[in-house]
Amino acid sequence: MAEDSEALVAMAQILSPHCRVIRMSDGALIADWKRTRFFGMTTTDVEKFAGGSPEERAELVTGLLRTRCATESRNEHSDVGVGLWLRGVHLLIRTMGFGRVLRLLSLAAPGYARAEPPSAEQIGRLKRAVQSHSRRSWFVNGDCKSEAVTAFVLLRRSGLEAVLHVGVRERPFALHAWTASAGLCVPDADPLGHTFTPVLSIDGGGH
């Protein structure tokens, strides 16, 4: 039983973010909510995933890849890709306005999420990449809105849980945006020690 649970956890980690694995009495069910499809795995398949040979596991993973229920690589964002997203988001905000960009998040940030939560290490790497590009770019110049939206979109497109907050400070009046995930914020929620009260929070799909 414990080995089966470990196998299901390992399986969930390689599944696409729109897929879920559910334990059944005679094996496991993989639900593909994006395409409204369901695939069954026998108890024997689950046991192979838990303790089978590398060849047997590779065969099972290959099958998941063929059905597009799994992706070969999805956890990391390239440094170049982060920079392109950041500049693109900043251009959209300057062209369309921050409010309109927030309304478009349902198109860029899907509402489904992976079964496993994001790790602080993942979010830390993304935060460093976003802020490094933001500080180095004269175009973005450390804009918190661009950093927050970029982090939110990249995390949600990877199927990771994230919440985008827009906060306000009364004296002196100021607005600030940040994305929270795995206990970290991109950018910091309290820049220079100033506290902002959230007035809008978006947790996925633009809602």
Rounded to 10 deg, the angle between the 144-157 and 79-96 helix axes is 120
Mean pLDDT of 122-135: 92
- Based on C-alpha coordinates, what's the Rg of the chain? 20
Provide φ and ψ at 122, rounded to 5°. Answer: -60, -50
Task: Express each pLDDT in 139-159 by its tens digit.
Answer: 899 999 999 999 999 998 887
pLDDT in the model for residue 188: 94
Cβ–Cβ < 8 Å for 158, 112: no
Residue 205 has pLDDT above 50, yes or no: no
pLDDT in the model for residue 19: 81
More confident residue, 129 or 112: 129
In angstroms, the CA 144 to CA 130 distance is: 10
Task: Express each pLDDT in 43-86 by its tens digit.
Answer: 888 877 767 777 777 777 778 777 877 765 444 567 778 889 99
In angstroms, the CA 42 to CA 26 distance is: 6
More confident residue, 200 or 58: 200
3-state DSSP percent of the chain in helix, strand and coil, to 5: 45, 20, 30
Closest CA to 52 of 64, 44, 40: 44
- Residue 175 CA, distance from chain mean position: 25
Mean pLDDT of 85-112: 87
The secondary structure element, H or E, covering residue 114 is: none
Residue 32 has pLDDT above 80, yes or no: yes
The secondary structure element, H or E, covering residue 100 is: helix 98-103
Question: Which of 5-9, 25-29, 181-185, 186-190 has the least mean pLDDT?
Answer: 5-9
Helix, coil or strand: residue 138: coil
Residue 120 has pLDDT above 60, yes or no: yes
Mean pLDDT of 183-200: 92
Mean pLDDT of 176-183: 95
